[in-house]
Amino acid sequence: MSVNKVKWWIYFSFVGSFALAELIVLLFFPQYQTLVWYCFYTAISNFCIPWLPHEPIVLLYGTLFNPLLIALLGGVATCWVEFLNYQVLGLITNIKRVQAITEKQWYQKAEGWFKKVPFLSLVISGLTPIPYAPFRVFAVTSKYPIKKYELAVFVGRTPRYYILALTGKAINLPWWGYGIFFLIMLTITLYSRLHAKT
């Protein structure tokens, strides 16, 4: 599949799935309409190498809905976007310039460590603040089965969302408190990314 076809496939998959979900919820469960937007944001904040912070949003929704519901929906939304991530990275890693990096000794050594406990590595990095992106790439380049990858994503991310949602329910800040937290996290992330390029 060409890069252009993949771009369109991703676009229609994203827009189509969430548009359909929004329509169904709007028609039959209008009181849960905002949950579709929660799932959409959770998905885009986990796309490839994310820079949008998801923690403040999960904290906020923990005050609005049952934390278990938020955790399960977050886990499903993340699995959906990670399926797309897996396909996109599979295409990217076939590019010669990228292949040259994955063939370097330091990369092969790091991937070798991942291969020893791939499922556990994915679960722990999904559950904790450990950067997840490298493990995502290792999963693709080592051809880790996508079904096991998706299971590891769900097992790792869902408890993380549950802990965050429970925390949000416990502290119960006003919505603007989570908005300020979001802006602080976003500013720190953008500053660190821009600073790393200089």
Going residue by residue through the chain, which has 198 residues, state the pLDDT in tens, using 9 for 90 and above: 555 565 566 666 766 777 777 777 777 777 878 898 899 899 888 885 567 889 999 999 999 999 999 999 999 999 999 988 898 888 888 888 888 888 899 999 999 999 999 999 999 999 998 889 899 999 999 999 999 999 999 999 999 999 999 999 999 899 899 999 999 988 888 877 776 655
Pull the structure tokens for residue 55: 């923690």
Record the tokens describing residue 150, joined without a space.
């998706």
**Which pLDDT does position 22 carry in this prediction?**
72
Alpha-carbon 64 to chain mean position: 21
86 Cβ contact list (under 8 Å, min separation 6): 136, 139, 140, 146, 149
| Distance (Å) of CA 118 to CA 65, 137, 162 | 33, 12, 23
How many of the other CB atoms lie within 10 Å of CB of 80?
A: 20
Q: Is 159 exposed, middle or buried (0-12, 13-18, 19+ CB in 10 A)?
A: middle
3-state secondary structure of 94: coil
Predicted pLDDT of residue 6: 58
Extents of the domains making up the chain: 3-47+55-197
pTM (predicted TM-score):
0.85
Of 94, 91, 58, 92, nearest to 77 (Cα)?
58
What is the 3-state secondary structure of 136-183?
HHHHHHCCCCHHHHHHHHHHHHHHHHHHHHHHHHHHCCCHHHHHHHHH
